[in-house]
Structure 1
Amino acid sequence: MHVRLTLLAAARSSGALDVRFEDDRGLDAAGWHEVRRVVPALSHLAAAELRYCSPSARCRETGDVLALSPLAQPSLRDCDMGRWRGHTLQEVAQVEPDRVSLWLSDPRTAPHGGESLLAFIQRIGGWLDSRPLGNGGWAVAVAEPSVVRAALCYALKAPPHSYWHIDVQPLATVTLAGRAGDWSLSLTG
């Protein structure tokens, strides 16, 4: 069964210099403004048969502004960052530079005590492969940029270190087409 899944990165909840691991803050003023501005361009997403979101406040709020009424999916949560949760990369690097270096270079490690990058990508892939859509169905998921990155690594069977080379901007969309274990990136104009 071939299906389509459009991933939409949530609007922002903080400035680029203040991005925190597992940040569950709601949309900031700029995020609210951005998502309201793109409602006309993204209103077609409400036609999807199934509409999901990561359980974070900013994903739920992004979906609600777009009139998606998304169903929160615990499996779409951000990577479990253990004791680094709530801190910025810069803050953690000042205290644990060797552990940050290890985390960035080896996708099987979790020096923060949470989830490894490889486990995170596999969790998101498991969610992708279990979507209950009939042949030709369409789903939308509003997710954290990290979740979109992990989904792309999984779908394209890219090596885990590719994760660090995928830039997902707020409100960016990407569509995957295929079926469990056999996904393709679908770019449309």
Structure 2
Amino acid sequence: MSLRVTLVAAARSSSLLAERFDDDRPLDEAGWYEVQVAAPALIPLGAAELRYCSPTPRSRATGTALGYAPLAQPALRECDMGRWRGLTLAEVAALEPSAVDAWLTDARTAPHGGEPLLAFITRIGNWLDTRPAEDCSIVAVAEPSVVRAALVYALKAPPSTYWNVDVRPLSTVTLTGRPGLWHLQLDAALR
């Protein structure tokens, strides 16, 4: 028995430098345009037996625009950033530089009062491991941070690896296998 879980990173809702922690903003104009450009390559993924998305506005909008009619999964929410919610990394670094250093170097700490990185990665991994244990294809539109966490979990990499994974909007990655034993399949570049 083998599962095929394709993760699609949600389209953007702002420029990279304007990204905010726990951002609930909808897709911006550029994000909608990028979905239209990528749609021919991504729409076929909607043939999956199960279609999910993160509960964020941009993940839901991306999945809907691609015709997936995805079911929002609370477990696929972004990391709870506590009092840093709504701020950019630059804003937080200016206000709490030592807290940012602690957060970036210790996956068990949550100086923001929210969820530690290790707990976030584990939560996303638990979602992966509780998918149906039968041959099945799944597509899930999720925030780039969720895709990063899924990759770290699936590869059994140290939590610090999370900071070295770059997930671009509308990129895809496929994990195949079964709960506890995942394999990474790199998908072809979208044209």
Return the TM-score normalized by structure 1: 0.98
State the match for 1:164 in structure 2: 163
State the match for 1:90 in structure 2: 90
Q: Does 2:25 match 1:25?
A: yes
- Go from structure 1 to structure 2 and tell me whether the alpha carbon gap of 1:33 and 1:95 turns closer, same or farther (over 3 Å shift): same
Q: Does 2:74 match 1:60?
A: no
- What is the number of equivalent residue pairs in this alignment? 188
Aligned mates of 1:61, 1:85 — CA distance in 2: 21
Deviation at 1:133, TM superposition (A): 5.1
Q: Does 2:81 match 1:81?
A: yes
Task: Report the AA paired with residue 108 of structure 2.
Answer: R
CA deviations 1:73-130 (Å, max 9, x no partner) are: 0000000000000000000010100000000000000000000000000000000000
Q: Does 2:141 match 1:138?
A: no
Aligned mates of 1:28, 1:83 — CA distance in 2: 25
Deviation at 1:134, TM superposition (A): 2.1
Task: Report the AA paired with residue 166 of structure 1.
Answer: V
Return the TM-score normalized by structure 2: 0.97
Q: Is the 2:172–2:187 contact (alpha carbons within 8 Å) kept by the matching residues of 1?
A: no
Q: RMSD between aligned alpha carbons?
A: 0.8
Task: Report the AA paired with residue 125 of structure 1.
Answer: G
CA deviations 1:152-181 (Å, max 9, x no partner) are: 000000000000000000000000000000
Q: Which runs of 4+ in 1 moved over 2 A?
A: none
Q: Secondary structure at the match of 1:35?
A: helix
Q: Does 2:47 match 1:47?
A: yes
Deviation at 1:188, TM superposition (A): 4.4
Aligned mates of 1:40, 1:174 — CA distance in 2: 17
Q: Is the 2:4–2:137 contact (alpha carbons within 8 Å) kept by the matching residues of 1?
A: yes
Task: Report the AA paired with residue 21 of structure 1.
Answer: F
Q: Which runs of 5+ in 2 are unaligned?
A: none
Q: Secondary structure at the match of 2:149?
A: helix
